[in-house]
Structure 1
Amino acid sequence: MSGRLVGGLSVMWRTVRRVVVGHLDDVSGGGWHTRAVVVFALVFGLSTADTSTVGASATQLRNAFGISNTQIGLLVSITAIVGALASLPFGVLADRVRRTWTLAIVVATWGLAMLGNAAAANYEQLLVGRIFLGVVTAAAGPIIASLVGDYFAPSHRGRVYGYVLAGELLGAGFGFAVTGDVATLSWRAAFIVLALPAFALAVVVWRLPEPARGESSRAPEAEDETGPTDAQRLARRRGIGPDPDLVLHGDLRRMGLVAAAKHILRIRTNLVLIFAGALGYYFLAGVQTFGVEYVKKEYGITQVVATLLLLFVGIGAVIGVLAGGRVGDALLGRGHLNGRLVTAAVAGTLAIVLFVPAIFTRGLLVGAIFLLGAAFGLSAQNPPLDAARLDIMPPPLWGRAESVRTFVRSGAQAVAPVLFGAVADNVFGGGRSGLQWTFAVMLVPLVVGTGLIYLGLGTFPQDVATAAAATDRDEEGHGLGRAAA
C-alpha cells in the first residue's frame, strides 16, 4: 500500500513539474530564459522567507531575549530601512555594471549575513545583524527589474513577473511553515536553514548570461525587432503624443542618480504606481510579521494549525500573482492600453472587500475562505503594476527607477511592523482584540493605494508615449555616437 502511495505521489509530482515547466517555457521562451525566471523567483523567495521566519519565530525570540511585539517588529523594520537607503546606489549599479555577477555576489553575502543572525548572543547583536542583512538584500529589486526588462518580451512581462513574485509568496510560506516549525525547536537553526541555500543560488546566478541592455530577448512567437513595448506601439497607433516637458535627451545611462530620481518622480503614473504598490506591501509586511500570532489568537488554534492555515491562504496568493500577470497581459494584447492598471485596480478592490469580513469573523472555515480570496486580490495587483512600470520608463533608467520604487516600498515595509506592533500594544491594548483592530485600521492604506491606481488610468497613456519618445532619442544618440566613432 505504501509503495503504491509513493508511486502515485511520484507520478503527480512529475505531472505537476511538466505542466509548470511547460507554462514557463511558453512564457519565457525556454532554455536559460526559464532558468532565469526560476532563479529570480528564488532570490525574492529567500528575502521573504527571512522576513516570515522572524514573524513565525516571534514567540521564541520573545522568550529568548525578553522583548515585546514592538521590538519584534523592529527586527523586520530595521532591515527594510537600511535596504531602502542601500537600494539607491544599487540602482545606479544595475544600470551600469554586469548585473548577473553583482547579484551573485550579493546573494552569497546574504548567506553569510544570515549565518551571522543565527550566531547572535543577544537582541542587540541580532539587531546589528539585521542591519547588515538589509544592505545586501537591497540589490535584488533594481537588478532583477532591469534583467526582466532585457530578458523578456514586453508582451510577456506581466506573466513573467507573476512567476517571479510567486517566488516571494512561496518564500513567505517556507518561512512560516518550514523555518517557523524549525524555530519551535531552535530559532537559530531556522536562520541556518535559510542561509545554506543562498550559496548554491549564488553559483546559479553567476552562470546566467548577461543580456544586452535595452534589447529584450524575445519569445519565439514575439516580434523580431526591438524597440517600443506593446503598450508604446498601441499608444502610437492611437495618436497619443508624449509630454514634451518629460522627453529626455542625450545618453540616459550617464545621467546622475539625483537627476534621474528627479525625472522619475516627475512621471505622474510612476508616482501612482510607486505609492500604490508601497501601500500594498505595507499591509503585507504587517501580515508577514504578525499573521501567525493573529490567527492563533483569533481562532484559538496552535502554531502548527495556524501555519497550515496561512499556507492555505498562500495558495490563493500564488494563484493571484499568476492570474494577475496573465490577465493584464491578455487585456493589453487585445488592445486595452490600460489593461494592466485595470487588472490591478479591480484586484485591489476585491482584496479590500474580502479582508473586512475575514478580520472580524470568528469561524475558522469561513475566515479561511475570506482570507483566501483577499490574498488572491492583494497579490494579483502586483505583476501588472510591475510590468506597467517598465512601459512608462526608458530602458536605460530601469535600474534607477526600480531603486527609487524600492526605497519607497522598503520604507513602507520598515514602518509597518513597528506600527502594527505599537498600535496593537499601545492603542488597542494587545492580545487578540488588539491585533484584530490593528489589522482593521491598517486596511485604510489599501483603500488609498487602490484609489491611486484608479487615478493612474488617466495618466498612463501619455506617460507610455513619453517613454517611447525618450527611448527613441536615446537610441538616436547612441547611433550618432557610433557613427562618429
Structure 2
Amino acid sequence: MQPSPQVSTRYRYTVLLFLALAYCLNYMDRQVIGILAVPIKQDLKLTDSELALMGGFAFAIFYSCLGIPVARLADRMSRIKIISVACLVWSACTASCGLANSFGQLLLARLSVGIGEAGGVAPTYSLLSDYFPPRQRGRALAVLTLGLPIGSALGLLLGAIFAENYGWRAAFMLLGAGGIVLAPILFLVVREPPRGQLDAPTGDGTPQANPTLGMVVRHLLPLPSFWLISFASASASMLSYGLQFWLPTYIYRSHNLSLTTTSYVLSSITIVGGVIGLLLGGVLCDRLGARNKGAYGYVPSIGFIIGMPFMLAAALASGLPATVAFLLLPQVAGVMWMAPAVSSVQHLAPPTMRASASAIFLFIVNLIGLGAGTLAFGGLSDFYQAHFGPEALRYAIITVVVVLYPLTAVLYALAGRKLAGDWQE
C-alpha cells in the first residue's frame, strides 16, 4: 500500500537528504586526492603523469567497468542494499589509501576505491526516480548532485587541513571513517520503493520484468540523443575531473600559496559556483523542458559557450584575485550539464532498465572523462615542461580548454535536437 501523500512527500525528501549525503562523501573521497597530490608527490617522488594515472585512470577503470554489472543487479535486487554496501566498501578503501608507502600501493588502493564507488551512483539515480515524479526529477537530481561541489569543496578543505596538521595519510583515514559510519544508517533509514510507481504506464501497463543487458542495449542503440548526451557528458567530465584534480596543483605552483590557503580559495569557488550551477541547470531544464525537451541539451550547451572565454582568462591571468574572479563563472557553467544530462537519461529508458541505462551512460562518461581527463592535463604538463618550465601546467590547461569546450557545446546542442523524439514520460 502506498503511503499517504503527506508522509510520502516528507519521507521522500528525507531519502533525498541521506542519498545526497552519501553522494557528498562519494565525491569527498574521490576528489581529496586533488589537494593531497602536492604532499603525495613530494613524499613518494611522483611525476605529473603518475599523479594523473593514480588520480584518474586507476580509479576510472574499475569504477566504469564494474558499474554495468552492479547496475544489472540494481535492476533486479534492492537498490538501497547495494548503495549501502558500496558506501562501506569505498569508504574502507579510501581509509586504506593512508597506508600506502609506494606508488604501486597507492595505485592499488585507488583501484579499490573505484570498485566500491561503482555501486553507488547508478542505483541512486534509479532509486530517486521512484521517489520523485517526472516533472520534479530534474530538480531532485540537481539537489542530489549538490554532493559534487559540496563534497569536492569539503574534500579540498578538510584534506588540506588534515594534511598540514596530521599528514596526508591521516586525511585519507579520517575521510574514509565518515562513510563507514553512514553506510549502516542508509540501510536502516531508506526503504526500497516499487519500481516505476510514479511513471505513466506504457503498452498494456505491465512493465517488462528483468530485461537482459542485450535488451537494454538494443533499446538504447536507435536513440541518438542517448549517445550524444553520453559523449557530450564524457567531454564535459574530462574538463570537470581534470580541472578539479589539477587546479589545486596549478594554484599552488603558480601563485606560491600554502596548501591550506589553496584549499580555501578553491573550495570557496567550488561550492559557490557548483551550487549555483547545479540548481540553475536543474530548474532551467525542468521549466524549459516542459515546453521543449531539447532544453535538456541546449541548457548545458549554452553554459559551455559562456564559460569558455572566462576559463581561458583565468588560465592566462597572472594575479590571484583575477584568477579567482574569472574561475567563478566557468565553475557555474561547467556543472550545469549534470542535472539535465542525468534527468534525460532517466527518460530515455523504462523503469526496469533505468539503472542499467544509467550505468552505460556512466561507463562512457567516466571511462573517457575521469580516465582520460586527469591524464590529458598531466601528460601535456610533462610534455610542455621542457618549453615552459614551471608554467607547463598553465599551458596544458589552456590546450585542453580550447579543444574540449567547443566540442562539448556542439555535442549537447546536437543532443537537444534529438531529445524530443526519444523522450519517454
Structure number with larger C-alpha Rg = 1
Match of 1:456 in 2: 415
- Specify the alignment match of 2:187 in structure 1: 206
TM-score normalised by the chain length of structure 1: 0.80
1:163 paired to 2:163? no
SS of structure 2 residue aligned to 1:404: helix
Q: Please state if 1:324 is matched with 2:304.
A: no
Matches within 5 A, 1:30-179: 30-76=9-55, 77-179=57-159
State the AA in 2 paired with 1:285. Y
- Corresponding residue of 2:4: none
Distance 2:43 2:256 in 1: 24
Match of 2:3 in 1: none
Q: 2:239 aligns with which of 279, 283, 291?
A: 283
Partners of 1:114 and 1:317 in 2: how far apart?
A: 24
Question: Hey, what's the Cα distance between the residues in 1 that align with 2:242 and 2:221?
Answer: 27
Query: Offset of 1:134 from its aligned partner?
Result: 1.1
Q: Name which of 330, 340, 360 aligns with 1:404.
A: 360
TM-score after normalising by structure 2: 0.91
Q: Distance in 2 between matches of 1:29 and 1:348?
A: 37
Please, which runs of 5 or more residues in structure 2 have no aligned partner? 1-6
Q: 1:268 aligns with which of 214, 224, 228?
A: 224
| Distance of 1:119 and 1:301 partners within structure 2 | 27
Aligned with 1:151: secondary structure?
A: coil
Q: Do residues 418 (structure 1) and 399 (structure 2) align?
A: no
Tell me the distance in 2 between the aligned counterparts of 1:227 and 1:435: 51
Q: CA deviation at 1:193?
A: 1.3
Aligned-pair CA distance for 1:50: 2.0
1:390 deviates by: 1.5
How far apart in 2 are the matches of 1:150 and 1:251? 14
Q: May I ask how many residue pairs the two structures share in their alignment?
A: 412
Contact 1:51 1:289 in 2 (8 A): no
SS in 2 for 1:396: helix
- Alpha-carbon distance in structure 2 between the residues aligned to 1:312 and 1:125: 32
Q: Which residues of structure 1 form unaligned runs of 5+?
A: 1-27, 217-225, 233-246, 469-485
Q: 1:411 to 1:337 in 2, by over 3 A?
A: closer
The DSSP-based 3-state class of the residue aligned with 2:194 is coil
How far residue 156 of structure 1 moved from its aligned partner, in angstroms, is 1.0
Equivalent residues of 1:267, 1:463 under 8 A apart: yes
> What amino acid sits opposite 2:200 in the alignment?
G
CA shift digits 1:120-164 (9 cap, x unpaired): 232212211111221111111210111121111111111111111
Question: How far does residue 406 in structure 1 lie from its aligned partner after superposition?
Answer: 1.2
Residues 71, 355 of structure 2: 8 Å contact kept: yes
User: CA deviation digits over 1:171-223, x for unaligned, max 9?
Assistant: 1111111112212331110111111111221122202011110113xxxxxxx
Matched residue, 2:405? 446
Residue type of the partner of 1:282? M
The answer to whether the aligner puts 1:433 opposite 2:413 as a matched pair is: no
Write out per-residue CA displacement over residues 377-435 of structure 1, whole angstroms, 9 at most, x where no aligned residue: 11122112211222222111101111111111121201222221111012354654211
Q: Which moved more, 1:400-409 or 1:386-395?
A: 386-395
Is 1:182 the equivalent of 2:162? Answer: yes
